[in-house]
Amino acid sequence: MADYYTTIEAFRKSLEKSTEFRPRTGVILGSGLSKIADSLSGTAIDYSQIQGMPRPTVEGHRGFLKISRDYALLAGRFHYYEGHAIQDVVKPVLLLKALGVERLIVTNAAGGINPDFEPGQIVLIRDHINLMGANPLVGPNNGDLGPRFPDMSDAYSRALRKRISARLEYPLKEGVYAGLSGPCYETPAEIRMLEKIGADMVGMSTVPEVIMANYLGMGTVGFSCITNMAAGILDQPLNHQEVIDTAARVETHFRGIVETVMELLASE
């Protein structure tokens, strides 16, 4: 495994110069959702000012950290399909760890497989299926950071999900997120397979981040914004513009949910 301990220490040192905030809650914002970070007060730190932090290359991922007393928001993640090593894909989580974050909210844009879902809907992630073909924990393990064989049976904290559902005015549907490497969207046959193995939505991120967060002992919750129905469900082609447009259309609604959850976690 990459020397994650050294990476976390390097981030800690780099951030010491730019912020004194040490929030307990971290948020990783998915495609087209970075406006949430604009609307919060705090210090903005561009990834270019953080030593060792890669630059995002995908439209909708801007590449800055917004930090306040209670929250650290990352507007920009790294995807395996961009050509980043899987050890770099998890750098946002390592950065949050360096700040002392204990709870993580991950968000993403995803294609809906479950026919009960529709574009624009926000779904609470109950579990995931790792079909990335990679795992950030492969390699020698540093037992000071986490166990060799991490348990993944509560990777999306059941307790936190329960509290979130109780706090929101209406319950969110829950679903299983299948994480594939991308960058192709799926074929209709692949979507039929994913449905059979229990996936409700499909995307190209989140899974490596949640594996790392779970390994490092962060309580994690995740939200998918269903930006499109997955391939073959509707008789229409898929494209990233639709993903960005749908995320933009429901941004205020999504932001309301994420902010409520952030307040809930900060008040504990």
Ligand X SMILES: O=P(O)(O)O[C@@H]1C[C@H](O)[C@@H](CO)O1
Ligand Y SMILES: Nc1nc2[nH]cnc2c(=O)[nH]1
Query: Does the active-site annotation cover 84?
Result: no
- Name the binder of 111 from ligand X, ligand Y, none, CB < 5-8 A by kind: ligand Y
Ordered DSSP codes for 244-265: HHHHHHTHHHHHHHHHHHHHHH
Q: Are 202 and 191 in contact (CB under 8 A)?
A: yes
CA distance 75 to 96: 13
Separation between Cα atoms, residue 56 and residue 170, nearest integer Å: 34
Is residue 243 involved in binding ligand X (CB under 6 A)?
A: yes
**In this structure, are residues 125 and 221 in contact, taking their beta carbons and an 8 Å threshold?**
yes
Q: Is 61 annotated among the ligand-binding residues?
A: yes
- With H, G, I as helix, E, B as strand and everything else as coil, classify residue 231: strand
How far lies 66's CA from each of 37, 84, 211, 241, in Å? 6, 23, 23, 25
Residue 84 in contact with ligand X, rule: CB under 6 A: no
**Contact residue for ligand Y among 11, 185, 223, 254 (CB under 6 A):** 185
**Inter-residue contact 125 to 156 (CB < 8 Å):** yes
């348990």: which residue's tokens? 151
Nearest residue (CB) to ligand X, 145 versus 258 = 258
Q: Tell me which residues in 129-188 interact with ligand X (CB under 6 A).
A: 182
Tokens (6 digits) for 246? 């749908």
Nearer to ligand Y, 23 or 203 (CB): 203
- CB 128 within 8 Å of CB 221: no
Phi, psi of 88 (to 5 degrees): -85, -30
Size of the site for ligand X (CB under 6 A): 13
- Which of ligand X, ligand Y, none is residue 205 near (CB under 5 to 8 Å by kind)? ligand X
| 110 sits near ligand Y (criterion: CB under 6 A) | yes
User: Which tokens in the block code for residue 243?
Assistant: 């993903």
Question: How near is the Cβ of 30 to ligand Y at its closest, in Å?
Answer: 9
Q: Catalytic: which of 4, 61, 98, 177?
A: 61
| Residue 228 is a binding residue for ligand Y (CB under 6 A) | yes
3 state DSSP class of 57: coil
Nearer to ligand X among residue 109 and residue 250 (C-beta): 109
Considering 37, 71, 72, 82, which one is annotated as catalytic?
A: 82
- Residue span 204-233 as binding mask against ligand X, x where in contact by CB under 6 A, dash where not: xx----------------------------
Q: Does 204 bind ligand Y (CB under 6 A)?
A: yes
Binding site listing for phosphate: 31, 61, 77-79, 109, 205
Active site residue ranges: 31, 61, 79, 81-82, 109, 204-205, 228, 240
Binding site listing: 31, 61, 77-79, 109, 186, 205, 228
Binding site listing for a purine D-ribonucleoside: 186, 228
